Structure 1
Amino acid sequence: MSTNPWTTQRYLVVDVEGNGARPPDLVELAVVSITSGRIGDPTSWLVRPTSPITWQARKVHGITNDQVAALPTFDAVRDAVTSYIADEVVLVGHNVRVDLDVLRRKLPGWQPHAVLDTLRLARTLLPHLSSHKLGVLVEHLDLATDLPEELQPHRATYDALVTARLLTALATREDGTPRQAGEMTQLGGLPQANTAHEAQPGLF
């Protein structure tokens, strides 16, 4: 297990919003890098899915079919997305299996270097909370402070940014010292062998 501080690794936080189909197709993707423990600026893509966005998914993220009707499909941005996530980074998400499943289907042959789930981390490090949903953790840890007003929960950029803040909060011990990279992997890592096509159903 690596005894280096977690800040010695580069992390890429992702959030996917989907069309509500089974399996879901990608509508919006946001990525936020964390380098040397510092959260970078987000990058996002909004695309037209291969099938319409269901009303159930629209209730969650608010993205309508009219909003994406004139946009390109994911094929047009695939190279740009690949250039962002192809580096030797640790992929991070909240209930990351969902995001990972969508990305794997949109990027055949792609395999992240390692995967870290902030949901698993939060359940282990904050066991006293009755819920570990992202919204509950954002409120409990005050993770939305100073975010631009135009960013809204359940949109990819907002969710990726607060998940990045969640990771840095969980990666810092109560005394202010950083957790070890190996400790983070042990507490929240997702075994590579168990990540393929295990996404939980969800209206996203």
Structure 2
Amino acid sequence: MDFVALDFETANSSRGSVCSIGLVEYEKGKLKKEYYRLVKPKQNYFAGINVSIHGITKDDVADEPEFDVLWESEIRELLEGKFLVAHNAQFDMSVLRAVLDQYNLPYPMLAYNCTVNISKKTWALPRYKLNVVSDYLGIELDHHHALDDARASAQILLKAAQELRANNVKELVDKTNTTNGMMFDTSYEPAKLNKRRQAKKQAESFVAATSEHDTTHLFYNTSIVFTGKLDVMKREEAIQRIVDLGGKWQRNVEASTNYLIVGNATFRDYTNGKRNSQLERAETLLAQGHSVEIISESDFLKYL
């Protein structure tokens, strides 16, 4: 089992504000190398909330090199052409893209997957945060230390392979029905958790209770996507409410999407700089000039 586990910590809500990086490399299932460095962000600003999470301050990185220096001298050779994993890889890979973009550096060629997705297909747990999965598997964790988080992600991958009797990364990906992401040149493809067809059919069976709609309602004749767990009602109920108002529910954010409704907890994460794939897609479309409006669950309830 050959792979590199990766984790970043950032100084503020900007994805490019890398302040530490941890890497753990395994070769044939054995630990080969560990790497940890503090990094001085290009815009050396540390937000209080980030400091409270990882404990790294502006003074800690004052004499450390910036990412571009470390990339050329140390990091690139550890990642180029490798298979990477990270827990919530969507975040860590977006950080890597953002910091490379910041310094106008080309993307490395690599494949990656997410140990959150792999965990979901291996164990039935109430949540799949790194500390929850680590606790379940008996993995010691100094959470939000980049090297320790990378170590934990590596252990999760190895334990999933053991649980599913997968002899290599390809077998593990096949058995968990996940799809690897890719980075190449100046582009990328996200890692995915493949859904079952049965769930898709069930979700697409919503029918409006009436053909008479209030055409002045905000959600009439609009396309809406939900992301994150809703506090007040189940996702299915919220979708039905939209359909009854003459709106259209979409599974994923597209160019035709009018509103992305974000559960309260996910919206709080979003305001702190954490974006899931739906939010990233919405921001990409906004940057391209499309009119996708991101609204919180609280505002959604007011509009209802």
Q: Flag whether TM exceeds 0.5 (same fold).
A: yes
Equivalents in 2 of 1:81, 1:90: separation in Å? 14
Equivalents in 2 of 1:47, 1:191: separation in Å? 26
| Equivalent residue runs for 1:51-70 within 5 Å | 51=43, 52-70=45-63
Equivalents in 2 of 1:76, 1:99: separation in Å? 19
Residue aligning to 1:22 = 14
**What secondary structure is seen at the aligned counterpart in 2 of 1:77?**
helix
Sequence identity of aligned pairs in percent?
24
Equivalents in 1 of 2:38, 2:14: separation in Å? 20
| Equivalent residue runs for 1:56-135 within 5 Å | 56-79=49-72, 80-86=74-80, 88-107=81-100, 108-126=105-123, 128-135=124-131
Indicate if the aligned counterparts of 2:89 and 2:114 stay in contact, CA closer than 8 A: yes
- Matching residue within 129, 148, 158 for 2:148: 158
**What secondary structure is seen at the aligned counterpart in 2 of 1:132?**
coil
Is 1:139 matched up with 2:135? yes
- Matching residue within 262, 267, 274 for 1:202: 274
Is 1:185 matched up with 2:173? yes
Indicate if the aligned counterparts of 2:79 and 2:108 stay in contact, CA closer than 8 A: no
Is 1:36 matched up with 2:23? no
Equivalents in 2 of 1:75, 1:179: separation in Å? 36
Is 1:48 matched up with 2:1? no
Scaled by the length of structure 1, the TM-score of the pair is 0.80
* Paired residue type of 1:140: Y
Indicate if the aligned counterparts of 2:3 and 2:82 stay in contact, CA closer than 8 A: yes
Judging by fraction of residues, say which structure has more strand.
Answer: 2
**What secondary structure is seen at the aligned counterpart in 2 of 1:102?**
helix
* Paired residue type of 1:168: L
* Paired residue type of 1:25: S
Equivalents in 2 of 1:44, 1:118: separation in Å? 20
**What secondary structure is seen at the aligned counterpart in 1 of 2:142?**
coil
Indicate if the aligned counterparts of 1:93 and 1:99 stay in contact, CA closer than 8 A: yes
> Is there any run of 5+ residues in structure 1 with no aligned partner, and where?
1-6, 145-150
> Is there any run of 5+ residues in structure 2 with no aligned partner, and where?
183-187, 192-269, 276-304
- Whose Rg is larger? 2
Residue aligning to 2:160 = 170
User: CA deviation digits over 1:147-198, x for unaligned, max 9?
Assistant: xxxx832010110111111110011136xx43453332243433435339xx
Equivalents in 2 of 1:154, 1:101: separation in Å? 17
Q: CA RMSD in A?
A: 2.2
Equivalents in 2 of 1:41, 1:76: separation in Å? 20
Residue aligning to 2:195 = none
Aligned CA distance change for structure 1 residues 180 and 46 (closer, same or farther; 3 Å)? closer
User: CA deviation digits over 1:7-36, x for unaligned, max 9?
Assistant: 2xx201100001122334111011111110
Indicate if the aligned counterparts of 1:15 and 1:93 stay in contact, CA closer than 8 A: yes
**What secondary structure is seen at the aligned counterpart in 2 of 1:45?**
strand
Indicate if the aligned counterparts of 1:93 and 1:116 stay in contact, CA closer than 8 A: yes
Structure 1 residue 59: Cα displacement: 1.1
